[in-house]
Amino acid sequence: MTTADNLTKFLPLYAQVKQLLVQRLIDKTWTPGMGLPSENQLAAELKVSQGTVRKALDEMAAEKLVVRRQGRGTFVAEHTQEQALFHFFRLVDAEDQQKIPESEVLSLEVAEANELEVQRLGINSGDQVTRIERLRRLDGLPVIYEIISVALRLMPNVAEEARLPNSLYGLYQRDYGLSVLKAVERVRAVNASTPETTLLGIKSGTALLEIERTATSLDGQAIELRVSRCHTDKYRYMVELT
Amino acid sequence: MTTADNLTKFLPLYAQVKQLLVQRLIDKTWTPGMGLPSENQLAAELKVSQGTVRKALDEMAAEKLVVRRQGRGTFVAEHTQEQALFHFFRLVDAEDQQKIPESEVLSLEVAEANELEVQRLGINSGDQVTRIERLRRLDGLPVIYEIISVALRLMPNVAEEARLPNSLYGLYQRDYGLSVLKAVERVRAVNASTPETTLLGIKSGTALLEIERTATSLDGQAIELRVSRCHTDKYRYMVELT
DNA sequence: GAGTGGTCTAGACCACAAT
DNA sequence: TTGTGGTCTAGACCACTCT
């Protein structure tokens, strides 16, 4: 590894190697599911020891950017339906069992971004967004009403999709090369009004859990804003703090 | 490290070393704030290489069991007021700034455990608990009403404390050697009734965020149950998913 | 059998903190 | 100056996967 390889100096060598490898994920030199070169190949290419490459890859594996499999190789992490749902969907039943929802699309529109969408998606005032309105069921009962917003510029053809999958994150990755790797959720309690009262079959004023999620990609770019209102009489939002 | 050192075989050496070191934290051979022997001393004692000890200690540092300081040594992690509050208190204001609450104790009693306390604290039906009822303020305004329950057997003298600190986790550690290292929070939305309406100055039926937290120690023992009802008109419960 | 990641070791050098 | 953890290297051997 020459001095010109990396302008951010004063970093340990393994951290520089990691930055370089992460950059190749960002610029899509390596795409989800693809196998990376072996540790020895990378070490030879970058002129560092195998141990240094290993430390970089181990950190990337800890951050779930890559998956390492003994005897097979190192692969770029990819989203499957189940992974994305289990990873980001945090509602559990009374026995702490994670539940996976079904989804029904209620409406789909392209419109000018509102103030929250501008702020969270990092777009300009006046930009357009695609908005998806969904009702989600757990154990067959309607529990969640949510509105999903994505920037039209980032994903031009979402509204033309014939059939939207239950987990949209696989679609973002497959059709637009956008991998949701991080998310921030801001949660509060709100009193139900229309349309939740009708859709969820509850009285006006019933307390609902509102989850506002901003999902971002590897390089910190906002991919999706999602505001979900959940009826939490039978379910809980569970978080583990460590 | 001889074969008799550890009965759980078929584990990598560094994992066995880690288990052994963690055991010394559990049995309080090393207590919070105390410095551990150096990597070389541990390596010599356990008859493994320094690199193997290093890998064990690095994992323990990642789990925040120990703190490593270059040039000084490795120390058992300890709770300070600020650390515990910042780590477990997740309410933020509109600018995503983490807020630290003041606390006012409303009542303190010893009583027979209810069903939830029995379940969450892993105690027997009929066992006694100490219950603390608190009102917490953010920016001077009452925002949280909470009830904290701890097993009387585990912490016999909490009710005799002259003055309970804002963060109880430091007290648990100092007076009873119980370090809260993990917590599970189950969150739902509820409609306010007494006494929250009076204490928080809100109308009956206002949606409140209810956070039920079970805090556990290193060996998985439940230390505390806490049910907090939060007025989330000005604040959000924020979680980062990675 | 060949190639991969996983473990373990040994040694060198560096950055930092205490004395 | 001494001792600590942090980085980097090189090499050996193991466990697993594929062909």
Q: What is the mean pLDDT of each run of 10 residues along chain B (242 residues)?
A: 44 95 94 95 96 97 95 91 82 94 95 98 97 96 98 94 88 91 96 96 98 93 97 97 86
CA A161 to chain centre: 19
* Domain co-membership, A139 together with A203: yes
Whether residue B242 lies inside any domain: the answer is no
H/E/C letters for each residue in chain B?
A: CCHHHCCCCCCCHHHHHHHHHHHHHHCCCCCCCCECCCHHHHHHHHCCCHHHHHHHHHHHHHCCCEEEECCCEEEECCCCHHHHHHHHCCEECCCCCECCCEEEEEEEEEEECCHHHHHHHCCCCCCEEEEEEEEEEECCEEEEEEEEEEECCCCCCHHHCCCCCCCHHHHHHHHHCCCCCEEEEEEEEEECCCCHHHHHCCCCCCEEEEEEEEEECCCCCEEEEEEEEECCCCCEEEEEEC
Same domain? For A20 and A33 the reply is yes
Q: Which residue is nearest to nucleotide C4 (CA to C1')?
A: A71
- When the pLDDT of each residue in chain A is averaged and rounded to a whole number, the result is 92
Residue B60 and residue B100 in one domain: no
Nucleotides of C under 7 A from a protein CB: 3-11, 15-18
Domain that holds residue A72: 3-76
pLDDT of residue B4: 37
Q: Say if CB A65 and CB A21 are below 8 A apart.
A: no
The number of C-beta contacts closer than 8 angstroms across A and B is 105
For residues B70 and B85, membership in a common domain is answered with no
Total domains in the fold of chain B: 2
What pLDDT, on a 0 to 100 scale, did the predictor assign at position A9? 52
- Tell me the pLDDT band of A205, cut-offs 50, 70 and 90: very high
A115 has pLDDT over 90: yes
pLDDT at A8: 41
CA A70 – C1' D17 distance (Å)?
A: 8
Mean pLDDT of A128-135: 97
Do A158 and A90 fall within a single domain? yes
> Which CATH number is B101's domain given?
3.40.1410.10
pLDDT tens for residues A158-203? 988 878 998 899 899 889 989 998 999 999 999 999 999 999 999 9
What is the tens place of the pLDDT at every residue in A44-58?
Answer: 999 999 999 999 999
Residues A155 and A205 occupy one common structural domain: yes
CB of A38 within 7 Å of some strand C atom: yes
In a domain, B71, yes or no: yes
Q: Are residues B88 and B195 in the same domain?
A: yes
Claim to verify: residue A197 and residue A90 sit in the same structural domain: yes
In this structure, is the CB of residue B69 within 7 Å of any atom belonging to strand C? Answer: yes
Identify the CATH number of the domain in which residue B44 sits.
Answer: 1.10.10.10
Does residue A242 sit within a domain? no
B162 and B185 belong to one structural domain: yes
The Cα–Cα gap between A63 and A168 comes to: 21
- Residues in chain A closer than 8 A to B212 (CB atoms): 236
Q: Is the CB of B38 under 7 A from strand D?
A: yes
Protein contacts on strand D: list nucleotides below 7 Å from a Cβ.
3-11, 15-18
pLDDT value at position B3? 36
